[in-house]
Structure 1
Amino acid sequence: MPLSAGLMENKKPLVALASFPGSGNTMIRRIIESLTGILVATNHISTQCSSSGFSFVIKTHATNFKAGGDDCKNLNVKSLNYFKAIYIIRNPYKAMLAEYNRSNKLQGTQIPLISNGTYFGERWKQFVEHGTIRWKETTIFWINSYKKPVHILFYENILKDRFREVYHLANFIGVNITFKSLLCTFSKYVEKEKRQFPNQAMEVDLFDIYDSGMRSKINSVIVSTMKAVYLKQLKNYILKENS
């Protein structure tokens, strides 16, 4: 189990754990905590300042290095000097659905069922329009604009081959691991923290919730992002525009 949020004995250089919302950041946080025994901090307005020394891996969805929250302001910390970064990439179709459901759940909004070929309505379409742009901007920022070492972690790969992906992740952040610590990444502590949504919301057919026009725009963004960051793997996220 992770330590409480006390000061680390030896302060480590900060590592950003960056992603577009809905990309599996919560699960990766718990995996890192299981490996290190140190809580992963969050760069958020309501949390303790991430540079206080209680953590060295900092969760962020931002495309900047600004330090958030009154605690950082009181400490006169204006920016976070990340030594390196982990960037989590997930299929944008699934990441946007996960984030939409998460935000609706927090707001207590009723998620409508599929009816007559429509899903979520106009609010959903607006969310996808803005989310698609943000997915591209976040990906390009952390892979191209951030000029320090970046470990790219595909969410789908962590599901397929966790041992291998966690091994490379641990090496990147400088953590010594054993077979026992690898097994801990399958513990209830990790699994119970994965986002839980109603089956109706997460087991839908993507073709039912993204119409051909939406798929065309998202596919275009995937292709342009792929060319910008030189990641051919992104082509696996493209959906047929005519179902």
Structure 2
Amino acid sequence: MSRRSIIVLAAAVVMLYFSIILFMLSPLHGAKSAYYGNSYMNHFGFRQVPSVNWCKELKWRSPPSPNVVALVSYPGSGNTWLRYLLQQATGIVTGSIYMDYGLRVHGFPAENVTDGSVLVVKTHEAPPLEPDKFKSAILLIRNPRDAILADFNRLHKGHIGTAPKSAFKRKSQEHKKSEWANYVSAQLPVWESLHRLWLTRFAGPVHIVFYELLVQDTRATLADILEFVNVTVTEESMNCAIANKEGIYRRKKKYDDFDPFTSDMYVALDDVRNRVLRIVSDYRKRHNITDRSKGNF
């Protein structure tokens, strides 16, 4: 191989490595114009995410808490947004069982940290086999219709992007149904199982939060969560968190004239939704929990 060829190959490898790094550090992994218009392009042409205005400088929990709290949800249920709200109100970092490099460099420095040095630990998994991994859990529940749709969007366009309409019509290679139809069919039992397991198998206390209520009454719902994790914040801190509640990690609705769900899908969605609501009701009765909000999804 000639010297020139070696130089060209080396340059290509460097460019590929650089491109991978840029992709990994993008917190939205593919989100497009709605959040990355011209105002967020630097002079090199690379995407730049709007900066997060934190109410206070983020810090680690000190001393670390002996009781690690799980923040549990099905993907697409608003876990990242709730972490953002908690960090805004408390100034304490939140952790995750995962390593999302984009989130790590854009507001969530405790990715892949799962001990008591963080306020809560994000997970989309079933209760761990280790009985002492989590002492308690916040279970964030979102309507399966919206959660499954949000996660489908995430898979195609990142944390806040929206999948194109064509993605919902693309035919599966193995089946006659569309990839979207197969996805909904596969995810419905996953959505149901996750909530069932945390409400019936987890030994510690579970604080149930409905995403829809978090949106509707953010202040009261957030205050209840902070009481559950035994953290007190000032009125000023809460006011700041609410004033900045939108942040950059909520997906904006793109299509008002497009519903990818069929009538059969809606029947199946209602079935699993109602079964989980019954499990929630049974859990509250068993543990003598009063639902002050009277809310669900």
Same fold at TM > 0.5: yes
Fraction of identical pairs, as percent: 27
3-state DSSP of counterpart to 1:143: helix
Name the structure 2 match of 1:199: 254
Check whether the contact 1:102–1:197 (CA below 8 A) recurs between aligned residues: no
* Structure 1 residues 60-71: aligned runs within 5 Å: 60-65=123-128
Query: Is residue 87 of structure 2 the alignment partner of residue 24 of structure 1?
Result: no
Name the structure 2 match of 1:105: 157
| Structure 1 residues 185-220: Cα deviation after superposition (integer angstroms, max 9, x where no partner) | 2244x42233335612xx455xx3211111122222
Distance 2:225 2:80 in 1: 15
Distance 1:184 1:235 in 2: 25
Check whether the contact 1:38–1:55 (CA below 8 A) recurs between aligned residues: yes
Check whether the contact 2:219–2:242 (CA below 8 A) recurs between aligned residues: no
Q: CA 1:62–1:134 in structure 2 vs 1: closer, same or farther (change >3 Å)?
A: same
Relative contact order: is structure 1 or structure 2 higher (C-alpha 8 Å, sep ≥ 6)?
A: 1
Query: Is residue 163 of structure 2 the alignment partner of residue 125 of structure 1?
Result: no
One of 93, 99, 102 as aligned partner of 2:145? 93
Q: CA 1:90–1:79 in structure 2 vs 1: closer, same or farther (change >3 Å)?
A: same
* Structure 1 residues 1-16: aligned runs within 5 Å: 1=54, 3=57, 8-12=61-65, 13-16=67-70
Check whether the contact 1:111–1:120 (CA below 8 A) recurs between aligned residues: no
Name the structure 2 match of 1:159: 215
| Structure 1 residues 70-95: Cα deviation after superposition (integer angstroms, max 9, x where no partner) | xxxxxxxx786211110111111011
Name the structure 2 match of 1:139: 195
Distance 2:121 2:152 in 1: 23
Q: CA 1:110–1:56 in structure 2 vs 1: closer, same or farther (change >3 Å)?
A: closer
Give, in angstroms, the shift of residue 50 of structure 1.
Answer: 1.5
Distance 1:93 1:153 in 2: 17
Distance 1:31 1:109 in 2: 22
Give, in angstroms, the shift of residue 14 of structure 1.
Answer: 0.6
Name the structure 2 match of 1:219: 270
| Structure 1 residues 97-121: Cα deviation after superposition (integer angstroms, max 9, x where no partner) | 111111100399962259xxx7566
Larger radius of gyration: 2
Distance 1:170 1:110 in 2: 34
How large is the RMSD of aligned CA atoms in angstroms? 3.1
* Structure 1 residues 40-59: aligned runs within 5 Å: 40-44=94-98, 47-51=111-115, 53-59=116-122
TM-score, normalised via structure 2 length: 0.64
Query: Is residue 92 of structure 2 the alignment partner of residue 38 of structure 1?
Result: yes
Letter in 1 for 2:151: E
Give, in angstroms, the shift of residue 48 of structure 1.
Answer: 3.6
Q: CA 1:229–1:192 in structure 2 vs 1: closer, same or farther (change >3 Å)?
A: closer
Query: Is residue 265 of structure 2 the alignment partner of residue 210 of structure 1?
Result: no
Distance 1:177 1:109 in 2: 35
Distance 2:235 2:295 in 1: 34
Distance 2:211 2:170 in 1: 25
Structure 1 unpaired stretches of 5+: 67-77, 238-243
Letter in 1 for 2:141: I
Check whether the contact 1:222–1:235 (CA below 8 A) recurs between aligned residues: no
3-state DSSP of counterpart to 2:80: helix
Size of the alignment, in residue pairs? 216
Letter in 1 for 2:68: L
Letter in 2 for 1:58: V
Q: CA 1:10–1:235 in structure 2 vs 1: closer, same or farther (change >3 Å)?
A: closer
